[in-house]
Structures are given as C-alpha cells and as structure tokens.
Chains A and B, each alone.
Chain A
Amino acid sequence: MPEFGLIIVLVIALALIFDFTNGFHDTANAMATPIATGAMKPRVAVGVAAILNLVGAFLSTEVARTVSGGIIKEGDGGILITPELIFAGLIGAIVWNLVTWLVGLPSSSSHALFGGLIGATVIGVGTQAVDYNVVAAKVILPALIAPLIAGIVALVATRLAYLITRRDVGKPDGRGGFRYAQIFSSSLVALAHGTNDAQKTMGVITLTLIAGGFQAVGSGPTFWVIAACALAIAIGTYTGGWRIIRTMGTGLTEIKPAQGFAAETSTAATILASSHLGFALSTTQVASGSVIGSGLGRRGSTIRWGMAGRIALGWVMTLPASAIMGAFAAGLALLGPVGIVLDMVIGTIVIMALFRWSRRNRVTHHTLLNDIDDAGRVVNIQKTPRRPSRPSRKRVSL
C-alpha cells in the first residue's frame, strides 16, 4: 500500500484552489446579464449561482472520467504520470491563468489546466505518455466546435425570440417579460458550469489518486472528491460574485433581455449536452460564442473583426503557453524534493508579484471586465430607427 504522501495532499489542495479560482472567475459568465438587466438582485443572483454550481457538480462524472482516464496513457506499472508531475502541471496552469487574467487576454482555465498537465507529462515521461487521440477528440475539437455550435444555436434562438414576439410598430411587444426568463436561463448556465468545470478538478484529483496508487486505473471520482470539488467551486462562485457586482457599473455590453435569454439558453444547452458526452470544454468560450451569435441574430449587426481576432488569439495561445509553463515546472519537479519546493516558491512569488501589480493598476479597463463582455463587443449593432435614443445608463460608484 503506497503511503499518503505530502505531495498528494499538496496536489489536492492546489487542485481545490484552482477549482475555487475557476468559480471565482466564472460567476460573471452566468450572472452578469441578469444582474445588468435587473432581472435579479445581485445578492440573490450570486447565491443562486453558487448553489446551482454545487448541485451541478453532483450531476455527472463523464468529464472527470475524460480527465482522469483518457488523456494520460497507462503503462506497465499503472498510469504513466506521477503526483509530482500533476503538481507541476497545476502550477503551470495557475500561473498562466493569473497572467492572462491580469493582462486582460481572454483565456480558458480549462485549457490552461490541460495544457499544464500535457506539458508536464511530456517533459516528465515523454511524448508517448499522452493519448493524443483523446486530447484531440475530447479537448481540442470540442474547443473549436462547441463555441461555433453555441453561436449558431444562439443566432437561431435570438431570431426566433424576436420573430415570435414581433408586433406592429408602436404596440407593446412584451419583450420585457424576457427578463423573468433570464432568471431561469442564467440559473441553467450556472448549473451547466458546475457540471463541466467542477468535474475537471475532480478529474485531476482522481488522476492524482490513481497515479499515487490509491485508486484503480480507469475508476471514477469517489464521493469525497466530488463533494470537495463541488464545495470549492460553489464558494469560489459566491466570493467572485462580489467582485463582479462592484465592477458592473463600469459598463456592460448592450444586451437586451430577449437576446440575453436566447444566448443563455444556447450556452446552457450546449454545455449540458457536451458534459453528458464527456467533452471537457471551456464554459467561457461557449458563453462567448453564444453572445456573439445572439448579437448577430439582431438586426443591423456587424462583426468587429479586430476584437474577434484578439479573443481568438487568446484562445489559441492558452494550450501551448500553459503547456510550456507546465513543462518548465515539471523540469524543476524532476530534480526531486528540492525542485518541488522551488516550484512552490516560484509559483508563490509569481502570484504575489502579480497580485501586487494588479493592486497598483487596479482600475484598468481590462482587469475589471469579464471575457463575455469582450465577446459582446465583437458584434456591433446599429441603432434601429425605431429607437433613436439608447437607454440612459447610470454610472455607479461604490
């Protein structure tokens, strides 16, 4: 029986921290729109998002199995990865996540996680240890296809919503009623987030336990792992909410209730269907795809290609960049305990430095906004002649 080493405890702690930051970062995806359109009060919205993330994490384990049982190949002596390498991969992922968050480059915490793990494995074991078929089928292709699907679905849904509620000019169309619908659609997004993102951490912890010899190769996450990850993401979501509420007054993409409802429904449907099939995708990217699609579903909309290109660049860069970070951390970790400590020290220094830097430039434009906001600005919507004046926005300083 292998002993429950310090390194395994470290990895689990780090994975849970990663889970927490994921929830922290992604509350906005689900709840920014209903808060902005006034559908929900911030306090309620954030609480609901946290609870639904918790529930969502318990719903399925397909994605966790993709992470723990698919990406890294099995060898003669069990799985071809050690807890030390997973630790290095996590450090790489967290550092890259923080860097992109502060620079305002849209990235995906999920891809950072996979990139880090793959990079660490390639350095630590060799290129043959990674199952590229699974990586392509369940990570890379879904990353490319899912936002596209979500965008098309959102476009169709938005068209439908406007078509069905269309009435003669001057007559009330009742579209304000979509604001109530957003309460449900955004809750579904929060649920979907729990089913996909919390499971990635479950997968990593399970992978660690398998690598350490505590669990059989190919087995799924145990109950305590599911519960711990669900809690971590829920607490992260709740904590992250307050940051978003505070930044909300700085401006938000103009999203009408009907459009927001259509976008959120598409996001939730796409993520839930993907989670069911074990695709580990980035919820942020799917949500961005939906927002862009629903914007294009409105009349007189055009794409701002520069903005779209910047987002795409961030998406493409994440996997290789975090792989390099993971590989670097793994190189250090291979030196033995000294390397692990060095990894931790470097990780902590980077995090502290970034934190201090972020405090200095606290009110910059990018750190305040979320990725979905960027996506919303990709679509330029001309003002229709029917509504010559835009609704006045009140700037709020808290």
Chain B
Amino acid sequence: MIDWRAFVIVSVASLFSSALLVSLYSLGLRLLTTAGRIPLVDPLEFTGAITVLTPKKAAKQLKRARKAAAANPLTPGVKRLALCAGYACFVLCGIAVLYGIYLIVPALHR
C-alpha cells in the first residue's frame, strides 16, 4: 500500500512553492534594477569565510550601477512605480512563506 498520491503532492507542492518564491523575489530584484536601485552588497567585513568582493571590485560595480541609473530612460513616475512594484514583490514573497508555514503546522488549524 504505497501512497503514490503523497509523492505527487510533495512534487507539485514543492515545485509550485519554490517556483513562486523564486519568481517573486527575482521579479522584485528585476524591478528594483529597472527603477535604478541596483541592489549592491557592500564588501563585507571579515566574515571568517571567503571574501566576497574586494573594495576595488565593489567600487567598480557601484560606478557601473550609478552610470546605469543615470542613463535610465524611464520617467521618474515609471521608476517610482517599478520601485513600488519591486517592494510589493518582496512583501508577497514574505507572505507566501508565512502562508506555507501556516499550512504545514497542524496546531494552527485546530
């Protein structure tokens, strides 16, 4: 008595939820970039792990990002819209995670 349906549920649920979360977050990043707010992670201080960006590299990227932002042909209104939509994507992503956790905790359903 192997419950094959359970495997289908696991596959579909994980495929759907992962695709949704990753798409939402990626879309958020894309919109942020479109709005000229390129998310840049500063060179982090020593983490005990691998150095991620050298200061020189980070400065180079920052320059590139500023240039791209300055050359953005979008109007300020559109940019603002893109920015808002980007943040909305992140918020939706967060809500989706919380909903997923809500679904799997039986204590919350009783």
Contact = CB atoms under 8 A, between A and B. Distances in A.
Interface size band for A? 35 or more
Nearest to B66: A172
B39 A160 contact: no
Interface residues of B, number: 50
Question: In terms of DSSP, what is the predominant structure of the interface of chain B?
Answer: helix
Interface in B55-88: 57, 61, 64-65, 68
Contacts of A167: 33
Interface string A370-396: 000000000000000000000111101
A277 B23 contact: no
B21 A42 contact: no
A150 B7 CA distance: 12
Nearest to A32: B49
A274 interface: yes
Contacts of B26: 160-161, 163-165, 258
A137 B2 contact: yes
Nearest to A133: B1
A145 interface: yes
A391 B22 CA distance: 25
Contacts of B44: 38, 41
B65 to A, nearest CB: 5
A394 B50 contact: yes
B47 A262 contact: no
**Closest 5 A/B residue pairs (Cβ):** A177-B39, A164-B26, A38-B52, A174-B33, A269-B14
15 contacts: A38-B50, A60-B104, A60-B106, A137-B2, A157-B18, A167-B33, A174-B39, A177-B29, A180-B39, A248-B50, A265-B18, A273-B9, A273-B10, A273-B17, A392-B54
Given A38-B44, A137-B3, A394-B50, 5 more contacts: A35-B48, A36-B50, A249-B48, A249-B50, A273-B13
